[in-house]
Chains A and B, each alone.
Chain A
Amino acid sequence: MSESGAGEREIDSFAANSALLRVGTGTLAGPLLTRVVGMMLARAECPVDRLDDAMLICDALGAHACAQSADGHIEFTVHTRSGSMELRVGALAAGGAQRLIQATSLPGVGAVLEPIADQVRVEKSATGPGEELVLDLGFGRRASQASPNGTRSAPGEPAAGGPADQSLPD
């Protein structure tokens, strides 16, 4: 890791509710990412069911992102706004974003990222070669994918609507 400080580019234009986490390949990505994202979403008054969804995404990305790294490190950039969060994962090797999406799929369940996030897209890395996986997670008036009885619907099913559909934490 560079001693000059990660986030040189990002920090210069940091919004108030942003964080950059850079980790070497290994087992730390998941635990650290969940802590950072959890704190930021809690501060943004994210409902607990969507917070749970975000933790699931973080666990999945933390477990698999480092294997797709372009340079041996992974940067997670988190931006929270009113009612939404953007999570960028980079820099990934060419094709790494799609491989990461596939790697996070669960046997018998299927894709994890796409059904939970409002948007999943691949962008070219802004800082060099490679690409970034970008996930948008809304938590405003949009309800999570939970049924009124507190059970989670299967990924891929349409999201339920209305505050009454928010589930209790798992």
Chain B
Amino acid sequence: MSPTAQAINVETHDIELALPARAENVAIVRHAFGALGEAYELTEQMLSDLRLAVTEACTNVVLHAYPEDVEGPLEVSASIAEDQLTVVVRDHGRGITPRPDSPGLGLGLPLIASLADTVQLGRDEAGHTEVRMGFSLRHLGESPSGGQE
């Protein structure tokens, strides 16, 4: 086990951040995860992969979750248990559906899947759409992405 993983196992914290689903707030989430990574002494590459995946998931919420004239929440939570970091990005929008008129390239979810060890798309008990990403803290820094953003 790496020193980082050992350190993370000592303390377990949960965080949850809720913001209006606006493009500028994605930067706040990204910045907050920077603090999370620093607090737990994640390696640069681990943190880079984590932030990229979270950024993609949040961007999906901003772009696709709500109709243009409707503002809704963007919720991000993170919890650490043993060697697993679980990040959930949630919205109260219309769910994940095929969108032929999508303004994006459709690379978000594949990118998340390549960065996270596990990805689950679904709904929580309240019916809110969520993307649940699991990151093995033992292997996060070994992703083939090389931490490039």
Taking Cβ atoms with an 8 Å cutoff, the residues of A that contact B are 1, 3-7, 10-11, 14, 16, 18-28, 31-32, 34-36, 38-40, 43, 73
Q: Which residues of A contact B90 (CB under 8 A)?
A: 5
Inter-subunit contact A43/B24 (CB<8 Å): yes
User: A35 is contacted by which of B34, B72, B73, B124 (Cβ under 8 Å)?
Assistant: B34
The interface-forming segment of B14-22, B95-103, B109-117 is B14-22
List the A residue with the shortest CB-CB distance to B22: A16
B32 within 8 A of A: yes
Inter-subunit contact A36/B31 (CB<8 Å): yes
- What is the CB-to-nearest-CB distance from A62 to chain B, in angstroms, rounded to a whole number? 10
Given contacts A16-B20, A43-B24, contact A4 B124 (CB under 8 A): yes
User: B27 is contacted by which of A10, A26, A39 (Cβ under 8 Å)?
Assistant: A39
The binding surface of chain A is classed by DSSP as mixed
B105 within 8 A of A: no
Given contacts A32-B35, A35-B35, contact A5 B124 (CB under 8 A): yes
- What is the CB-to-nearest-CB distance from B22 to chain A, in angstroms, rounded to a whole number? 7
The binding surface of chain B is classed by DSSP as mixed
CA distance A24 to B13 in the complex (A): 5
Taking Cβ atoms with an 8 Å cutoff, the residues of B that contact A are 11-20, 22, 24-25, 27-28, 31-32, 34-36, 38-39, 71-73, 75, 77, 79, 88, 90, 92, 124-126, 128
Inter-subunit contact B11/A32 (CB<8 Å): no
Inter-subunit contact B77/A5 (CB<8 Å): yes
10 A-B residue pairings within 8 Å (CB atoms): A5-B75, A14-B20, A22-B18, A26-B11, A28-B13, A28-B36, A32-B36, A35-B31, A36-B28, A39-B27
- What is the CB-to-nearest-CB distance from A39 to chain B, in angstroms, rounded to a whole number? 5
